Amino acid sequence: MDKPYLREISKTTLENPVFVQGLPGFGNVGQIVAHLLIKHLGAKPFAEFYSPSFPDYVTVSSKGICHLPHYEFYSATLDETNLVIMTGETQPSFDDVLAHYKVCGEIVDFLEKLGCRFLITVGGVPITEEKAQVYVAATTPRLAAEFMEKGAVIYSQGKIVGGTGLTLAIAKERGIDGVCLLGATTGFTADHEAAAFTFKFLMKALGKEIKEGSQDKH
């Protein structure tokens, strides 16, 4: 493979969809949140994205089937809101800055093709104390204020690494609004508590509040 490509699994037509991205990172918060959202909404896969910028290994399933690292796109509807959810098992190497820009740019290209005008990227942020909290960074002051009113805290640490920040910033340059939600996590291993808290905040922001424990029933 010498260039990235997108494979459509099925045709999907979504009017003005909201894009939600959750990738591996601190506490794997983004990836876990994306999987919770997919499971809760019964989202259906419709496309896969492959790139030579991804690591040089394959993932092997419990049945011994291998596949290249890739991103997966799912479609779902929440009340009257159409959603496109993207997740995956990897990101380009953090040492390869150009690869990150290329991959995130290609993702935003696809979002424009789908007609997405708003996106939410989800990740984790390491903190020293155990505290359930969601931080927000946004493309506009208005959006930052709106999500503060929903209970988030402004993220003022200066940097958001990887696709969680770059996808949002590149989208902003293309005139697409959005926010980044960062769940507070104390570790680098999978933090399911931080992800569950962030998932409930995301659902509330999307207009569908989740009761305690109900995300485990789907």
Residues 109-165 pLDDT 10s: 999 999 999 999 999 999 887 788 999 999 999 999 999 999 999 998 779 989 999
- Predicted local confidence at residue 186, as pLDDT: 86
In degrees and rounded to multiples of 5, residue 33 shows phi and psi of -60, -45
Strand duo 66-67 + 118-126: pairing: unpaired
Nearest to 72 by CA among 36, 89, 48, 107: 48
> Could you give the CA distance from residue 157 to residue 85 in angstroms, rounded to a whole number?
27
Q: What is the CATH number of the domain that holds 70?
A: 3.40.50.10900
Nearest to 72 by CA among 2, 118, 1, 7: 7
CB 32 within 8 A of CB 195: yes
CB 72 within 8 A of CB 86: yes
Q: Is residue 10 part of a domain?
A: no
**Mean pLDDT (10-residue bins), the chain, 218 residues:** 88 90 95 97 96 90 93 94 95 88 96 95 90 94 95 90 95 96 90 96 83 44
Q: Is residue 43 part of a domain?
A: yes
Q: Is residue 179 part of a domain?
A: yes
Q: Is residue 4 part of a domain?
A: no
In degrees and rounded to multiples of 5, residue 158 shows phi and psi of 100, -35
In degrees and rounded to multiples of 5, residue 86 shows phi and psi of -120, 135
- Predicted local confidence at residue 210, as pLDDT: 53
Task: Kindly provide the b/e burial profile for residues 152-172, where b requires at least 16 CB atoms within 10 angstroms of the residue's own CB.
Answer: beebeeeebebbbbbbbbbbb
- Whole-structure pTM value: 0.92
Q: Is residue 1 part of a domain?
A: no
Nearest to 102 by CA among 112, 117, 92, 111: 92
Q: Is residue 112 part of a domain?
A: yes
SS3 state at 123: strand
| Segments forming the whole domain that contains residue 169 | 16-206
CA-based radius of gyration for the chain: 16
Q: For residue 1, how many other CB atoms are within 10 A of its CB?
A: 9
User: Taking the alpha carbons of 4, 91, 198, 39 in that order, is the dihedral positive or negative?
Assistant: positive
* Structure tokens that stand for 18 in this block: 């909201």
Q: Is residue 212 part of a domain?
A: no
Q: For residue 106, how many other CB atoms are within 10 A of its CB?
A: 19
Number of domains in the chain: 1
Q: Is residue 218 part of a domain?
A: no
